[in-house]
Amino acid sequence: MRADVRHSFPDLTMQPFSALSLLKRGLSGQRGWTAQWRSPEPKNAYDAIIIGGGGHGLGAAYYLASEHRLGSVAVLEKGWIGGGNTGRNTTIIRSNYLFDESAALYDHAVRLWEGLSQTLNYNVMFSQRGVLMLAHSVHDMQVSKRHVHANRAAGVDNEWLTPEEAQAFCPPLNIGDIRYPVLGAALQRRGGTARHDAVAWGYARAADALGVDIIENCAVTGIVRNADGSVAGVQTTRGPISARRVGVSAAGHSSVVMKMAGVELPLESYPLQALVSEPVKPVFPCVVMSNTIHAYISQSDKGELVIGAGTDAYTSYTQRGGLHISSHALEAVCELFPMFRRLRMLRNWGGIVDVTPDRSPIIARTPVPGLYVNCGWGTGGFKATPGAAHVFAWTIARDEPHPINAPFTLERFRDGNLIDEAAAAAVAH
């Protein structure tokens, strides 16, 4: 299957973007743009319903309509699309995971990212500026080099840099005069960032053009089942809707939603935080991550430094997180990049991430016929958005997993087939 298939947009109400259309609107004061997607009333029934209007849910709806030609599809979002972790994350994209199953899944996503703006006719601002992962101890170096070798054996790019090479790649990096000096770094050049909102909006617009109903302010409150146990539809704050197929893509709230159908998941939900600085001129060329002293950082196109902090120690649904967590990340950033010490922070926030025991996702059928789940992405699912959405749509449409997501079952915890990225990396983003 080609990753860069371009779909035609039959719905003429949507204006395709082109250099010419941007120029014309620019010269006429940006007037005359129409809404990029409809805001329809929910119908009584759909062929498939996706619960959760993040990138993963909107993407799944798009691929259900475009690749699997499902007649009618709706995305139900309790708030606004992209208002969950999609719009709260630090947008790091990479595929240098340790195990073959993970590398295949995340690299499937990177390959789709590479053509996504073209596919969707929407600029998701995917920028392959490189992701540098620092090593600060002998243990770090051994783990990183193991990753580099495993990735190269699996056909995924990753290379080892000396401290001097790392500093040449990222000049602001302080490699010497710190408590945990930089001893080397792994670099994935195909990694980078994308614009989070644009991913949600791009999928929403393209899905809508193919007839998908995107219904915001519509919280699912129950999952209705037939006498034989299979899915009959959902209860929502905007009334009941029937569907034979329901896909759950609710991130931090996946356990809450799946309990509505009596399915218990091996998930715990934690707040994860990020913060941005005041905008400055372009000074930071790539993405840098340090798992050991825990900080990760990049610069947005607006000029803000985008800084990722850690999760709280305890489970929570508050979308906040403790201030000492982000403070700790800032200490690490100031140590690694002394030139940022005088910067002021503009905003900090949290999102609720759903963490599995092995830190790998679940993209699978469930014990309830017609009910599918894509969850457990924890602290690192933005990078997977197109890939996860693509194989999740396949799973829903065919009632069987795509070969890429076949290992990511719910039963792997019972059967002992963990994909233990938790043991492989202290942090995963």
Ligand X SMILES: Cc1cc2nc3c(=O)[nH]c(=O)nc-3n(C[C@H](O)[C@H](O)[C@H](O)COP(=O)(O)OP(=O)(O)OC[C@H]3O[C@@H](n4cnc5c(N)ncnc54)[C@H](O)[C@@H]3O)c2cc1C
Q: Which does 320 bind (CB under 5 to 8 A by kind): another protein, ligand X, none?
A: another protein
Contact indicator for 274, 308 with CB cutoff of 8 Å: yes
CB of 144 vs another protein, minimal distance in Å: 27
Q: Which of 90, 131, 89 is nearest to 110 (CA)?
A: 131
CB of 291 vs ligand X, minimal distance in Å: 13
Q: Which two tokens stand for residue 118?
A: 């073209």
The torsion angle over the Cα atoms of residues 383, 386, 392 and 394, rounded to 10 degrees, is -150
Residue type, 307: I
CB of 51 vs ligand X, minimal distance in Å: 5
State how far the Cα of 377 lies from the Cα of 389, in Å rounded to an integer: 12
Q: Is 177 in the site for another protein (CB under 8 A)?
A: no
In the 8-state DSSP scheme, what is residue 230?
-
Q: Which two tokens stand for residue 248?
A: 């759950």
Binder among 265, 276, 289, 363 for another protein (CB under 8 A): 265
Site for ligand X in 41-100 (CB under 6 A): 51-57, 76-79, 83-86, 88-92
Return the number of other C-beta atoms located less than 10 Å from residue 106's C-beta. 24
User: Which of these segments, 97-105, 123-131, 307-315, 371-379, binds another protein (CB under 8 A)?
Assistant: 307-315
In the 8-state DSSP scheme, what is residue 166?
H
Nearer to another protein, 108 or 294 (CB): 294
Q: Is 416 helix (H, G, I), strand (E, B) or coil?
A: coil
Q: Is 339 in the site for another protein (CB under 8 A)?
A: no
Site for ligand X in 367-386 (CB under 6 A): 377, 379-383
State how far the Cα of 411 lies from the Cα of 294, in Å rounded to an integer: 32
Residue type, 70: L
Nearer to another protein, 31 or 347 (CB): 347
Binding mask 193-212 for another protein (x = CB under 8 A): --------------------
| Partners of residue 234 on adjacent β-strands | 223, 241
Radius of gyration of the chain (CA): 21
Q: Is 266 in the site for another protein (CB under 8 A)?
A: yes
Q: Is 316 in the site for ligand X (CB under 6 A)?
A: no
CB of 180 vs another protein, minimal distance in Å: 17
CB of 4 vs ligand X, minimal distance in Å: 21
Q: E strand or H helix at 415, and its extent?
A: helix 412-415
Q: Is 333 in the site for another protein (CB under 8 A)?
A: yes
Q: Which does 228 bind (CB under 5 to 8 A by kind): ligand X, another protein, none?
A: none
CB of 238 vs ligand X, minimal distance in Å: 11
Contact indicator for 16, 9 with CB cutoff of 8 Å: yes
Site for ligand X in 137-196 (CB under 6 A): none
Q: Is 219 in the site for another protein (CB under 8 A)?
A: no
Q: Is 326 in the site for ligand X (CB under 6 A)?
A: no
Nearer to ligand X, 90 or 144 (CB): 90
Contact indicator for 167, 185 with CB cutoff of 8 Å: no
Q: Which does 294 bind (CB under 5 to 8 A by kind): another protein, ligand X, none?
A: none
Q: Is 243 in the site for ligand X (CB under 6 A)?
A: no
State how far the Cα of 48 lies from the Cα of 370, in Å rounded to an integer: 9
State how far the Cα of 75 lies from the Cα of 57, in Å rounded to an integer: 7
What does each C-alpha distance from 302 to 195, 277, 295, 298, 347 come to in angstroms? 11, 11, 21, 12, 14
| Partners of residue 187 on adjacent β-strands | 132, 159
Q: Is 263 in the site for ligand X (CB under 6 A)?
A: no
Q: Is 258 in the site for ligand X (CB under 6 A)?
A: no
Q: Which does 333 bind (CB under 5 to 8 A by kind): ligand X, another protein, none?
A: another protein
Nearer to another protein, 96 or 254 (CB): 254
Residue type, 155: G
Binder among 183, 219, 343, 406 for another protein (CB under 8 A): 343
Q: Is 248 in the site for ligand X (CB under 6 A)?
A: no
User: Which of these segments, 85-93, 113-121, 190-198, 315-323, binds another protein (CB under 8 A)?
Assistant: 315-323
Phi-psi region at 295: left, alpha or beta (left = phi > 0; alpha = psi -120 to 50):
beta
Binding mask 354-393 for another protein (x = CB under 8 A): ---x------------------------------------
State how far the Cα of 56 lies from the Cα of 386, in Å rounded to an integer: 7
Binding site for ligand X (CB under 6 A): 51-57, 76-79, 83-86, 88-92, 219-220, 249-251, 253, 257, 272-274, 308, 351, 353, 377, 379-383, 429
